[in-house]
A and B are shown apart, each in its own frame.
Chain A
């Protein structure tokens, strides 16, 4: 059983790749071919969609905007979540359990009706159409996620390790950075990736809070639904390119995710 267990992830990945292949397939066709009939590969191979995206500033600015606010948000979310998660993990304080659960409740409301209030709020403080606005707005759902995931991993590290470090003379910041964070490397990697991902794909708030300066790629993609119907080839190419930044992020954090728990000392 052990020997063929690799089949499981292999088959799963195969399953995942089919629609992605399909996406790439569509991105190299023009809309007519896509809708015209069933073809497993582009009979009329065209790079027109990609060319359009990579040369038209409206398109590639969309990517840059998205990357900008998503990066800002990821950094903020993980940075403030780390101390908070530590507090939840190690200490008891007034209202701790309620606060912890309340954080998660911020992910429980369907965004549809909140778009307008958000628009009003961020306009009122003069942050409409800025990257920072979207980055801050996304904190609503990303910070709770980060705190929850990090707390889960931190609770797996026995408290005795903290105490041993203090006895050995470590100050709290030094202990946190040099001893604690490597032990939860897996959790940090996964958290960073999820914050990036959820912010990256969030459409509604990003569209609502921006107009020109900070318009995200997801919003620009909805423009492909023009009067003549969906420009599928373009949409597919844009979608395919959207995968790239996220793939880069997970490639960079892969070592953190795959890092085990090593208690050092031989």
Chain B
């Protein structure tokens, strides 16, 4: 536990020290809010700014947790993880430290955007909502840091890695209904969006944060909080289950792969590479 906490503290510290990154990750969402909120005005959404804001909060949590977790790769490349390798530390402790810190930072960012959102017009009527919102952000943070750590543990070449991360985050961000309503997407892309776990994350999070849990199924489908695929309706509750299952799978996978991965593998010579696969 001590090691997990120490690593958690380290990562938070590193993030806090990087002021540029901090400012940038707060400004960007509002830039997107400004650009995209007009799109929702034409749609059947009651309060487009709040609707959009909800999407932005959750995509920020998603992107931050993924990015922070994948930054583990920097620690592997810099050699820091090799220190861990010859110490009596268990790999699972390292994985836990990385996952928890990524989820924490992501949640903190989500909260910052929420606070700014409050001044733009996001209001809660129930006192339970803010707690539920934070709870969901922590879960979502953990889910996607799991995916991030999994990617970091799989990487073979640190140079192409950044491209891979972008190639994954971009479609997941833009094909989930957070910035662009799914109804405005071409049919094919809509089906792609149904395969995107972020689609369900966004729908589920919006239902909670906009306090729409009491809507009828038809109203939910109209507001894109639920999806009708064929004859089957995916309610926010099913969405939540999907996200949690996805998260559990990747949390387990990432910890497993991370425990097995050879940190000395990257940037090493041929002969040592051979050692990895033997």
Are chains A and B native binding partners rather than an unrelated pairing?
A: no
Query: Which B residues lie at the A interface, using CB under 8 A?
Result: none
